[in-house]
Amino acid sequence: MGILIPILSYIGMLIILDENSKRGWFRIPADLISPYIEPYLYVKAIITLVLMFIFYAIFLLLTAIITRILAPPRYGLYDVPPQTFRGKRKSR
């Protein structure tokens, strides 16, 4: 996942910027356009990081759902469940 998520995010960023240039979904602020290196370097970095976070959250959610469905039960046949505390509450 450490290799897959950044690659998917970069490809997604390229698709989003290509479609944005065709359809004009959002306007890129002039402060994010770099005159020295590559014009859209900062925009690409921001979109890639946002997509990485979104893909990470999606994969984390899918992993949790699959683990919940396929994992063994919390207590087995011979396990004893935890007891509730029956003592007095002490104030300090």
pLDDT digits (tens, 9 = 90+) for 28-86: 888 888 888 888 888 999 999 999 999 999 999 999 999 999 988 777 778 777 778 77
Task: State residue 63 phi and psi, 5-degree precision.
Answer: -65, -40
Q: Look at residues 23, 24, 21, 41 and name the one whose alpha carbon lies nearest to residue 32.
A: 41
Q: Give residue 10's pLDDT.
A: 93
> Amino acid identity, residue 63?
T
- The domain segmentation of the chain, as residue ranges, is 4-70
Cα separation, 82 vs 55, in Å, equals 37
DSSP state, residue 3: T
pTM comes to 0.72
Q: Give residue 92's pLDDT.
A: 67
Chain position carrying tokens 């699959």: 66
The CA-atom distances, in angstroms, between 5 and each of 1, 12, 46 are 6, 10, 15
Cα separation, 53 vs 24, in Å, equals 24
